[in-house]
Amino acid sequence: MNQLLGNCTVVDARAHPVKDAGIWVTGDRIAAAGPYSEIASQARAAGPVVERDLNGAFVTPGLANMHTHFSLSLPGSGGNAVKDMGPHDLALYMADGARRTLDCGVTTVRNVAEKDHADFALRRAINAGRAAGPRMYTAGRALVCTGGHGHESGDTMECDGPVGFRHGVRSQIKAGADLIKVMISGGIAGEHEGIATPQLFADEMAAVIETAHAWGRKVTAHAGPAEVIAAAVELGLDCVEHGYQLTPEVARQMAAKGTALVPTLLVTRCKEFFDELGVPEWMQCRSLGAGPRHIESFTMALEAGVEILLGSDMPPFWAFEGTNATVRELENLAEHLGPERALHAGTRGPIRWLGLDNDLGTIEAGKYADMIAMDADPLDDTSAFRGVWFVMKGGVVTREDQR
């Protein structure tokens, strides 16, 4: 089907905004984008076309959330309810989360630990058109040492020693993993650990990174303390999740090595979310108490030139502080990055890390037609994403609010 989107301004992280723009979509890809009169002539000359008036909206690429859990189960009553789900309930729960995530304007996610490999079934269902959801790039189960961060749930796999961790990497790749997630330190959700607790030895980290890279997979690591991060970065780590306790030296090392950071700023400023899930006091105190150092660490990364990528950790669709978790995290980033760099962190940056920039991340000919529309200009204020009312994924309109 040919579609022509008009009466809009195209905004992406590649070039200056195009006002009075037209976007011609053929099938699931963008055929052309540019000045409306020129694009409309091309589209109409090609045959019958469905024309959509976007009422002066601003159109950006769909958002990409790089720290996603559709089966998150934190300590507390809310998390226990998810842990207690059988496989059928869990599959439906995750599918509902995927649908709601797409409705928020998130058209690509990177899943970084999901329960019992249900993520692979969900990915297949989305790709086959049996379920609605974003494009999923998933790590399967995260790798942890025995008793390590997150070991209590089916979204991790316990390993020990270099041989054990090599087996862990290969087992996730065998199941269909697009990347590998490893827990190399403690965190905020482990009762019997601290954020700074190192959990892998150097030979274990090397085994994960070397094996994953040999199979063409990148590695991202849950990590808090600077010294643990430094060791992993030196071994070739591709991305750090959280990075609660960076130092300027380690941030510069990350920038020099091209190691990205997904800071997940929400996780140390989300008391309302914790209360909703019945998260126990010990975890709330650890998380919220880590907030000032977390921001300081994030600022060090910015100053060093580390690549910053959007990731919420909180389920992407979760209603939080008047919007959804993805947009709220993007607003947190924009407080420090500014709207233009925040747009990059939420669209083109993640897509480049995933190696998908030939197909996604910008609005130009040849890319998949993954686009969202809103009434306000996101280059003026990132909060414009609170007003997403139109979502297209692969040329299919999945949300179009009545205007």
Please tell me whether residues 320 and 176 are part of one structural domain.
yes
Which range marks the domain in which residue 332 is found? 64-353
For residue range 136-165, list pLDDT tens digits in order: 999 999 999 999 998 989 999 999 999 999
With cut-offs at 50, 70 and 90, classify the pLDDT of residue 376: very high
Over residues 161-188, the pLDDT tens digits come to 999 999 999 999 999 999 999 999 999 8
pLDDT digits (tens, 9 = 90+) for 188-226: 888 888 888 999 999 999 999 999 999 999 999 999 999
For 326-350, how does the pLDDT look when each residue is reduced to its tens digit (9 = 90+)? 999 999 999 999 999 999 999 999 9
The pLDDT, as a whole number, for residue 152 is 87
- Report how far residue 319's alpha carbon sits from residue 327's, in angstroms, rounded to the nearest whole number: 10
The pLDDT score that the predictor gives to residue 191 is 81
Per-residue confidence band for 355, with pLDDT thresholds at 50, 70 and 90 = very high
Domain stop point among 334, 353, 372: 353
Q: Tell me the C-alpha distance between 78 and 97, whole Å.
A: 15
**Do 24 and 105 belong to one domain?**
no
Which tens digit of pLDDT belongs to each residue from 22-73? 999 999 999 999 999 999 999 999 999 999 999 999 999 999 999 999 999 9
pLDDT band at 281 (very low <50, low <70, confident <90, very high): very high
pLDDT, one tens digit per residue, over 235-276 is 999 999 999 999 999 999 999 999 999 999 999 999 999 999
Quick one: 27 and 75 in the same domain? no
Same domain, 37 and 85: no
Same domain, 370 and 343: no
Domain holding 234: CATH number?
3.20.20.140
Mean of the per-residue pLDDT values of the chain: 97
The single residue listed with the structure tokens 């540019």 is 34
Residue 1 banded pLDDT, cuts 50, 70, 90: confident
- Together in a domain, 150 and 12: no
State residue 193's pLDDT score: 85
Q: Looking at residue 389, which CATH number applies to its domain?
A: 2.30.40.10
**149, HSE (Cβ side, Cα atoms, 13 Å):** 24
Find the mean pLDDT for residues 363-374: 98
Please indicate, yes or no, whether residues 69 and 58 belong to a single structural domain of this protein: no
User: Is residue 270 domain-shared with residue 335, that is, in the same domain?
Assistant: yes
Region 315-326: mean pLDDT is: 97
Residue pLDDT, tens place only, 12-30: 998 789 999 999 999 999 9
Do 32 and 133 reside in the same domain of the chain?
no
Q: Confidence class of residue 120 from pLDDT cuts 50, 70 and 90?
A: very high
Tell me, yes or no, whether 219 and 322 share the same domain. yes
pTM above 0.95, yes or no: yes
**Does residue 220 share a domain with residue 173?**
yes
| Residues of the chain above pLDDT 70, percent | 100
Report whether pLDDT(362) > 90: yes
Give me the number of domains the chain comprises.
2
| pLDDT at 192 (0 to 100) | 82
Q: Do 208 and 281 reside in the same domain of the chain?
A: yes
Q: What is the pLDDT of residue 403?
A: 72
Using only C-alpha atoms, the chain has a radius of gyration, in whole angstroms, of 21
Q: What is the mean pLDDT of residues 296-306?
A: 98
When pLDDT is averaged across residues 95-108 and rounded to a whole number, the result is 98
